[in-house]
């Protein structure tokens, strides 16, 4: 892509428009992962979902979002970020329209699956737009900071807007609101984003696309089943084993048989790609422990409503956004390792403090303080990890590397959710009086927060494999 912003950028109106489009796309992707949660009771009552079926309104989106991310990343390389982003926005908006007009459970679940596919095209395309448009270190990390903050805003707004829209309008507008926004972003992308020259003779690695996408989807599906079944049950082992076998086949195809592989294994010889994605896998569990389990702690232990819990997390979301923007200008001067180590220290202190909370704790002392620390750590580490994992993208591979980084984070979150939820449930069940009392639940969440502190320590250790400065 021509016209990238170099080391001494002049931020023109078009530059800001490109960054705004990338941030808006990321905002929509993260928003839709959270905005539906508060609307679920109304959806169940209106469409007649069973309790098990209702979970797929959430899980269906997450399944295809994570499963198709690599394919979306490679599509951005083959067809250009603009085409891929526009196609993803179209699929996402059309699926949102179908979801908002759904008259039966199956229609809504199918719409959510399609939304996940659209999101899997949008997310790596937005990151590829940043990688190819902002070529200088200063400009790129500034753009990464804004892109990461947009995701934080999406998660925060989703928690608050879902309840407001459902109460004031209808759960259907949780989906329908995406349609005019998506249409506006399509027009903006067509006007502002330059086309990218691609090798039109290069075709998609179909075998790799099928085995890789199916393998990831099957693995994630199996992990998701652990919430309702034991880890040794057939619904977990069967899909997970099939997914692992398909991923082994995918690796063999990419290494030996594909002439133009969808996921070139040579990319893992780049230290930032290998180490960065390893840390993003671990980071996914930390993000789940922070945003998901602290919300449950507020509701199930402290007795907050869903809206109160969303408001309770707002200060942390604002801390994340501020810290992400503050860390951006530091990264070119310090390199990624110091910021990751400082962030890990925030995680260790915050989760250690949070693990002391109990049923009689006060929000201001036992929740607000530690979550602000953890959010500061996320603001330091998340954009830094993304920058480290994508900084040395070879020409023509920005999309797949972006997709790989986001896939690692999503898979880490999916596996982290299953493992942490199982551990919390087992710890709560072992307490006197059963596993449903606030005291027992607090003990389960305390274990989750200690495990998250362990993940933070692991990230700090893995970060030592990075060079002291990325220009060393």
Q: What is the pLDDT of residues 410-428, one digit of tens each?
A: 788 878 877 888 888 888 8
The secondary structure of residue 257, as a DSSP letter, is I
Q: Indicate if the pLDDT at residue 222 is higher than 70.
A: yes
Q: Indicate if the pLDDT at residue 235 is higher than 50.
A: yes
Q: Indicate if the pLDDT at residue 355 is higher than 80.
A: yes
Closest by CA to 123, choosing from 208, 183, 33, is: 33
Residue found by looking up tokens 């937005």 in the block: 126
Which pLDDT score, from 0 to 100, does residue 344 have? 93
| pTM metric for this prediction | 0.75
Query: pLDDT band for position 124 (50/70/90)?
Result: confident
Q: Indicate if the pLDDT at residue 8 is higher than 60.
A: no
Size (the chain), residues:
472
> What dotted CATH number matches 266-472?
1.20.1250.20
- Rounded distance between C-alpha atoms, residue 134 and residue 180, angstroms: 28
- Rounded distance between C-alpha atoms, residue 288 and residue 286, angstroms: 5
- The rounded mean pLDDT for the chain is 81
Q: Which residue has the higher pLDDT, 149 or 456?
A: 456
CB distance 30 to 92 below 8 Å: no
> What dotted CATH number matches 12-194?
1.20.1250.20
Question: Mean pLDDT across the stretch 376-387?
Answer: 87
Closest by CA to 402, choosing from 411, 393, 410, is: 393
SS3 category, 5: strand
| Biggest CA pair distance of the chain | 66
Question: Mean pLDDT across the stretch 309-333?
Answer: 80
CB distance 25 to 125 below 8 Å: yes
Which pLDDT score, from 0 to 100, does residue 196 have? 61
Question: Mean pLDDT across the stretch 353-372?
Answer: 91
Question: Mean pLDDT across the stretch 212-222?
Answer: 81
Question: Mean pLDDT across the stretch 362-391?
Answer: 88
Least confident of 54-58, 337-341, 364-368, 443-447: 54-58
Residue-range domain boundaries for the chain:
12-194, 266-472
Which pLDDT score, from 0 to 100, does residue 203 have? 65
- Domain 12-194 and domain 266-472 have a common topology: yes
Question: Mean pLDDT across the stretch 89-102?
Answer: 94
**Residue-wise pLDDT tens digits, 258-310:** 777 777 778 788 887 888 889 998 998 888 778 778 877 887 888 887 667 77
DSSP string, 111-173: HHHHHHHHHHHHHHHHHHHHHHHB-SHHHHHHHHHHHHHHHHHHHHHHHHHHHHHHHHT-TTH
Which pLDDT score, from 0 to 100, does residue 470 have? 44
Which pLDDT score, from 0 to 100, does residue 108 have? 92
């Amino acid at each position: 892509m021509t016209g990238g912003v170099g080391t001494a950028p002049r931020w023109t109106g078009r530059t800001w428009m490109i960054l705004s489009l990338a941030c808006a796309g990321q905002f929509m992707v993260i928003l839709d992962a959270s905005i539906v949660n508060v609307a679920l009771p109304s959806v169940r009552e209106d469409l007649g979902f069973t309790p098990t079926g209702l979970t797929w309104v959430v899980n269906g989106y997450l399944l295809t979002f994570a499963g198709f991310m690599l394919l979306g990343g490679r599509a951005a390389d083959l067809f250009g970020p603009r085409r891929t982003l526009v196609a993803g926005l179209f699929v996402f908006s059309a699926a949102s329209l179908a979801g908002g007009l759904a008259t039966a459970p199956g229609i809504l679940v199918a719409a959510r699956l399609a939304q996940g596919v659209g999101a899997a095209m949008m997310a790596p395309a937005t990151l590829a737009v940043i990688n190819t448009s902002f070529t200088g270190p200063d400009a790129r990390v500034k753009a990464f900071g804004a892109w990461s903050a947009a995701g934080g805003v999406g998660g925060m707004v989703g928690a608050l807007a879902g309840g407001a829209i459902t109460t004031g309008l209808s759960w259907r507008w949780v989906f329908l609101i995406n349609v005019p926004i998506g249409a506006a972003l399509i027009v903006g992308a067509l006007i502002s984003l330059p086309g990218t020259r691609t090798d039109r003779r290069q075709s998609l690695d179909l075998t790799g696309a099928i085995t890789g996408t199916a393998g990831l989807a099957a693995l994630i599906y199996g992990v998701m089943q652990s919430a309702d079944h034991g880890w040794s049950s057939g619904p977990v082992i069967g899909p997970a084993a099939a997914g692992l076998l398909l991923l082994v086949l995918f690796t063999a195809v990419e290494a030996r048989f594909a002439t133009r592989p969808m996921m070139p294994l040579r990319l893992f010889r780049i230290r930032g790609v290998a180490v960065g994605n390893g840390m993003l896998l671990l980071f996914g569990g930390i993000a789940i422990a922070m945003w998901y389990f602290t919300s449950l702690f507020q509701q199930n232990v402290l007795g907050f409503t869903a809206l109160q819990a969303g408001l309770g997390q707002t200060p942390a979301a604002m801390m994340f956004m501020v810290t992400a923007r503050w860390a951006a200008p530091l990264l070119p001067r310090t390199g990624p390792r110091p910021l990751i180590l400082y962030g890990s220290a925030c995680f260790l202190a915050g989760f250690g403090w949070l693990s002391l909370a109990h049923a009689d704790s006060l929000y201001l002392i036992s929740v607000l303080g530690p979550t602000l620390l953890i959010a500061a750590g996320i603001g330091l580490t998340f954009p830094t990890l993304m920058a480290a994992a994508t900084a040395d993208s070879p020409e023509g591979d920005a999309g797949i590397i972006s997709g790989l980084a986001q896939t690692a984070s999503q898979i880490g979150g999916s596996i982290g959710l299953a493992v942490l939820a199982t551990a919390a449930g087992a710890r709560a069940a072992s307490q006197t009086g059963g596993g449903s009392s606030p005291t027992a639940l607090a003990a389960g969440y305390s274990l989750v927060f200690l495990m998250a502190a362990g993940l933070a320590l692991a990230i700090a250790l893995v970060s030592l494999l990075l060079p002291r400065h990325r220009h060393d």
